[in-house]
Amino acid sequence: MIDITKEMITTVDEAMDLNVKKQAEGQDDYSLDRVPREERKMGWLSITNITFGIATAIFYFQTGSVMALQFGAVNAIISAVYAIIVAGILGTVIAYLSAKSGMNVNLLSRSGGFGYIGASLTSLIYASNFIMYCAFEGLILVAAVHTFFPSIPEWALIIFFGLLVIPLNWFGIKQLDKLQKWSLPIFLVFLLVTIIVTFNTPSGYDGAFWTYLPEGVQVGGAALLLCIGMQHGIMGLTALLASDYARFLKPKDVKLGSVMIGFIPQIFCFGVMGGLGIWFGVRLGESNPGVYIVLLLGFGGVMFTLLTQLRINITNIYSGSLSLSNFFENIFNFTPGRRFWIVVTALSAIALMLGGIVDHLGTAMTFQGVFLLAWAAVIVADAMIVKKWLKIGPLFYEARQEYLYKWNPVGVVALVISSGLGTFAALGYIGPFLQNTAAFFAAVLAALLTVMLAALTKGKYYMKTEPVDVDIEDHIATRSGK
């Protein structure tokens, strides 16, 4: 954000000049403070449409195909239902908190159990998550284009497509809404054509696709746990992502909109895209959509891949830039504006692509899956149990540093212990069951620790002083319980 001096602006001319500068810098995105109620003007359909950017990624084709071919279609389907339910519930609660407060998860965390320095650590890891996924999704696009144009070096394609997302993000939330809205019908046409072509392509498996089961694999047991473990790698991201956009939701749409924003993208991510990935994988005998989509549609497959990967990467860059803004404002008081962080996020993703991030994807996703679900669990437990039920600490959210402690042990300790033990479990040191349910284990542990620590500290470290200018409509609970 623009670095506003501590001196009070005293003239109308100065105020008008500041407003012009804010508009020029794209400050309608409110990366460092709550969205004012009068600026929450977007309907739930528009917000849901923006979140479809991540829901339409062909990454979900790949996870569905891999799970089906390795562990059986039924196990993959059951794990998809599990992912929809768990991520949908978490996403709904987080979207509600974001819409009520006008804040995303980075800002919610400040007075939601972490303190303003503690929350900056989550912002940094959250940003690294989006940068990593931006790199991974970008490499899928580069591979598809390079297949058709092998004379173009991959490094050149990486730089070109890595830089392309910068102008597509320049004007913030309104630009994202338009881009996702205009590109969605084109995506649906490509998807329909892919389904029709696949249906008319001879299947490599004779039976119904849902009956496919590799030799030696059973329904349930270890195979199902492995599928669930794969879903955990992305579930936390899809649940938390909603907050970056739900904060712009119209106040009258909060209840219905929270459910729609929380569940519809999850249904499409894991149910539609993941389900189609299961079908594609079994029918075509191939797990890599970068291979089978191009084989099915030729150059049209390249264009389909281009569309899906740009749709998801503009959301990755947007959320990554918000998180970096929060981190550097909190730690270094460095506020150059969101556009600066768009460039930094894009360049970081390019560096990861050139450095071969895909070779370390499994390790990165294991930690990210554990951390993100644990973080989501802390936020939800703090809101629904600590604030709404136990009435401990403030019953609203505040992001301004002057009202907050640097550290709140409630969220920080809960997250460090749960994500640490969860990662330890994910690496196989606590047995095979917890290895494949590590993220869920970390989330449950994080929620329990949050409640225990809040009760133990009696909410002492949530705020130094409570502001009096927070609109009552932004509160998530009242002392009377009404």
Whether 18 is covered by a domain: the verdict is no
State the Cα–Cα distance between residues 431 and 290, nearest whole angstrom: 34
Whether the CB-CB separation of 50 and 130 falls below 8 Å is answered with no
Block residue for tokens 């881009």: 179
Give the range of the structural domain holding residue 268, as residue numbers without chain letter: 46-361
Whether 456 is covered by a domain: the verdict is no
The predicted structure's pLDDT at residue 180: 84
pTM value is 0.86
Q: In this predicted model, what pLDDT tens digit does every residue of 92-150 receive, in sequence order?
A: 999 999 999 999 999 999 999 999 999 988 888 888 888 988 998 898 888 888 888 88
Phi/psi of residue 240, each to 5°? -75, -30
Q: In this predicted model, what pLDDT tens digit does every residue of 16-58 receive, in sequence order?
A: 343 433 433 445 568 778 999 999 999 999 898 888 877 888 8
Whether 428 is covered by a domain: the verdict is no
Total structural domains within the chain: 1
CA-to-CA separations, 381 to 157, 376, 388, 389, 390, in angstroms, rounded: 44, 9, 10, 10, 11
Least confident of 64-73, 255-264, 322-331, 343-352: 322-331
Whether 431 is covered by a domain: the verdict is no
Whether 12 is covered by a domain: the verdict is no
The predicted structure's pLDDT at residue 340: 93
Over range 60-66, report the average pLDDT.
Answer: 91
The predicted structure's pLDDT at residue 338: 83
Report the range out of 7-21, 72-86, 289-303, 421-435 with the highest average pLDDT: 72-86
State the Cα–Cα distance between residues 53 and 464, nearest whole angstrom: 39
Segments in 102-171 forming alpha helices (H): 105-109, 115-148, 154-169
- Dihedral sign (CA 460, 461, 464, 470): negative
Whether 352 is covered by a domain: the verdict is yes
226 pLDDT band, cuts 50/70/90, is: confident
Segments in 12-72 forming alpha helices (H): 12-24, 44-55, 59-71
Whether the CB-CB separation of 258 and 90 falls below 8 Å is answered with no
Whether 323 is covered by a domain: the verdict is yes
Whether 192 is covered by a domain: the verdict is yes
The CATH number of residue 320's host domain is: 1.10.4160.10
Q: Mean pLDDT in the chain?
A: 87
363 pLDDT band, cuts 50/70/90, is: low
Helix, strand, coil fractions of the chain, as percent rounded to 5:
75, 0, 25
